[in-house]
Chains A and B, each alone.
Chain A
Amino acid sequence: MTPVDTSAVVASLREVARDAGVTARVHATRLTGPPGTVALDDAEPVAVASLYKLPLALVWADLVAAGDLAADQPVRLPADSRMPGPTGVAMLLDDVSLTARDVVRLMLAVSDNACGDALLTLVGRARVHEHLAALGLPETLVRQGSAEETRAVLRDTGTGDWAAAQRALADPDRAAETSQYDPAFASAGTAAQVGQVLRLLWSRTGPAHDLVRDALAHQAWRHRVGSGFPHDDVTLLGKTGTLGRLRHEAAVVRFPHEHPVGVVVLTRAARPERHLPRVDAAIGELARLAVAPLRLPDDV
């Protein structure tokens, strides 16, 4: 990577994080053209929550591109074997059948936990780990699926359902902890490693990887990294990860006629509440500050 003097940028990133009351890890990187990165504590491992779905999708697409998996393979998601979750198939009541590629789309576009678990089962944990290692990425990035994360949170909070677990984690009068905040027990990686996932995904061509990128472009919300780029002509392809005080997003920001820039913002808020628009906005501000010095016209 070309060393750029980013100390002033990093100082402003720290200031934004302090003002929002979060611990922030940031990694921004130009995905094409001359290399360039901006980093804030991007070698610190953190629990990535639903961001595990991003490297999982990369592995799936690589295996499809290699002919080891079929994109249109049917996948059954019976109601009684799904862990209930807030979005997508995980919030439905009845049995569902999808193709693998639709599983990937729902997993990425609405962070569907049932689809994340189904895809992990379909690819197989051992194969995921083997492939991540071959890519030079840590196996911990996909240590587990969503159902295991949910079960651990229920156990740690002593609650019987997800709503009660979320209330326990959000209690302002307690400092509720869970093993799923801990990179030693959860799916975990550094901001730089998640950035490397984006870099690999953008280096690939072919229909399987196009499908993954298209699903990221359809992400249903734009309140985090997207809040830093309120421009209708700027394309955002992103994946969030959320658990209690953890709020993350890995995204690719595409300004017209510029090289795309990947940006990873991993945060842990001091406040436990579920709804913290100020923190979501700070993630947008961190992303904007980190991306700005990397913007470059694509004819350069």
Chain B
Amino acid sequence: MDLLKHLGFFAAVADARHFGNAAADLGMTQPPLSQGILRLERHLGVRLFDRDARGVRITAAGRRLLPSARELLDAADDLVVAARDLALPEQVRLGIAADLEDAVPGLLRAVGVDLVPKALANAGGAVVPTVAGSVELVDLLRDGLLDVAVVRHPGVLDGLTAGPVLVLPTRLEGVDVGAGVGLAEVRLPVAVPPRHHQPPAHDQLVDALRRAGHSGAVVEARDTAQRRALVAAGAAVGVVPTTVEQPGDPSCPPLRLRVAVPHAAQRRPEVDHDAVAAAIERALTSGPAR
């Protein structure tokens, strides 16, 4: 039997607690779904659901098996995603440090425009982006799952080649900048990405905040939305890369980045790594981030 397909039935019925609704979720009719569950129960030798006048209830055995079923389904999804990445050889698998926040779309547009006429003349889309913490991106690069990554500096880059340090100005977010408030006057903590994204860069930022007269207190926000929420709630301020509209604040520690690529021998020949790295460096250094 197709075990994965039938485990999908199992999970759907467990979620919906109703054969009709589960069938609708799966885009099928109820009879083949019921038969599928029966087949799975026979195959496993375990009853997964109790069916009675009141409806469907998962059995104790079903509850025990459900987490393993979900793990298998998730792993299958991961495999399909990974295969999809590998099936697009000309596309650049580009890692982007989550710290770039609002500058990510502008960076991708600039890099895409820059690359299409050069390295990727025959490809449709130029770039498959992955936005994550820098430590994770470095691991992905080393494992050959990314081609190029722009990561926060400083960080450990053993086994990789990296370009120059790119220094992006930042500004305070969530305070009345017009009133001349600098970091030293800020009493709130600074909302920052999780330390584990790039521990040495995080520690360097905390030291720089203290050097500038701030307490160095930080709140680790798991993502941009959480950071924005903290700032909007008045619980923290942000130190974010500048946009065209708002110039950098010289009292704010800059965001430092480097573009990392594998050593020459470990690069995919389909990708012009140097051209991609140069495009990123141009996009990030040609004035304030968009």
Chain A interface (Cβ < 8 Å from any Cβ of B) = 18-23, 172-175, 269-273, 278
* Docked complex Cα distance between A23 and B207 (Å): 21
Given A21-B156, A21-B200, A175 and B258 contact (CB-CB distance below 8 Å) = yes
Neighbouring A residues of B162 by C-beta, 8 Å:
175
Verify if B75 is at the interface (C-beta below 8 Å from A). Answer: no
| B256–A173 touching, CB < 8 Å | yes
| B156–A18 touching, CB < 8 Å | yes
With A21-B201, A23-B158, A270-B155 already in contact, 4 other A-B pairs whose C-beta atoms are closer than 8 Å: A21-B199, A174-B164, A175-B164, A269-B200
Verify if B227 is at the interface (C-beta below 8 Å from A). Answer: no
| B204–A20 touching, CB < 8 Å | no
Picked from A173, A175, A272, A278, the residue with its CB within 8 Å of the CB of B203 is A278
| A18–B154 touching, CB < 8 Å | no
Given A172-B256, A270-B155, A20 and B164 contact (CB-CB distance below 8 Å) = no
User: Which one of A174, A270, A273 has the highest number of Cβ atoms from chain B below 10 Å of its Cβ?
Assistant: A270
* Docked complex Cα distance between A110 and B158 (Å): 31
1/0 per residue, CB under 8 A from A, across B156-195: the answer is: 1110001011010000000000000000000000000000
Summarize A's interface: helix, strand, loop or mixed: loop
Verify if B11 is at the interface (C-beta below 8 Å from A). Answer: no
Verify if B135 is at the interface (C-beta below 8 Å from A). Answer: yes
How large, as a class, is the contact surface on chain B? 20 to 34
| A271–B154 touching, CB < 8 Å | yes
136-169 of chain B: CB within 8 A of chain A: 153-158, 162, 164-165, 167
Neighbouring A residues of B155 by C-beta, 8 Å:
21, 270
The 8 A-B pairs at the shortest CB distance, nearest first, are namely A21-B200, A270-B154, A270-B200, A271-B200, A271-B154, A270-B156, A21-B199, A270-B155
Inter-chain CB contacts under 8 Å: number: 48
| B154–A19 touching, CB < 8 Å | no
Nearest B residue to A278 via CB reads: B203
Given A175-B164, A175-B165, A175-B258, A18 and B199 contact (CB-CB distance below 8 Å) = yes
Shortest Cβ distance from A279 into chain B, in angstroms? 9
Given A172-B256, A173-B165, A22 and B156 contact (CB-CB distance below 8 Å) = yes
Nearest A residue to B135 via CB reads: A18
Neighbouring A residues of B200 by C-beta, 8 Å:
20-21, 269-271
| B154–A172 touching, CB < 8 Å | yes
| A273–B204 touching, CB < 8 Å | yes
Neighbouring B residues of A278 by C-beta, 8 Å:
203
* Docked complex Cα distance between A23 and B158 (Å): 8
* Docked complex Cα distance between A272 and B165 (Å): 12
214-270 of chain B: CB within 8 A of chain A: 254, 256, 258
| A21–B256 touching, CB < 8 Å | no
Neighbouring A residues of B203 by C-beta, 8 Å:
21, 271, 278
Shortest Cβ distance from B137 into chain A, in angstroms? 14
* Docked complex Cα distance between A61 and B151 (Å): 49
Neighbouring B residues of A20 by C-beta, 8 Å:
199-200
Nearest A residue to B156 via CB reads: A270
* Docked complex Cα distance between A272 and B254 (Å): 16
Neighbouring A residues of B156 by C-beta, 8 Å:
18, 21-23, 270
Interface CB pairs A-B, < 8 A, 22: A18-B199, A19-B199, A20-B199, A20-B200, A21-B154, A21-B200, A21-B201, A21-B203, A23-B156, A172-B154, A173-B254, A173-B256, A174-B164, A174-B165, A175-B165, A269-B154, A270-B154, A271-B154, A271-B200, A271-B203, A273-B204, A273-B207
* Docked complex Cα distance between A194 and B156 (Å): 24
Neighbouring B residues of A18 by C-beta, 8 Å:
135, 156, 199
Neighbouring A residues of B154 by C-beta, 8 Å:
21, 172, 269-272
* Docked complex Cα distance between A272 and B258 (Å): 14
Nearest B residue to A275 via CB reads: B207
Shortest Cβ distance from B134 into chain A, in angstroms? 10
* Docked complex Cα distance between A175 and B200 (Å): 14
Nearest A residue to B159 via CB reads: A23
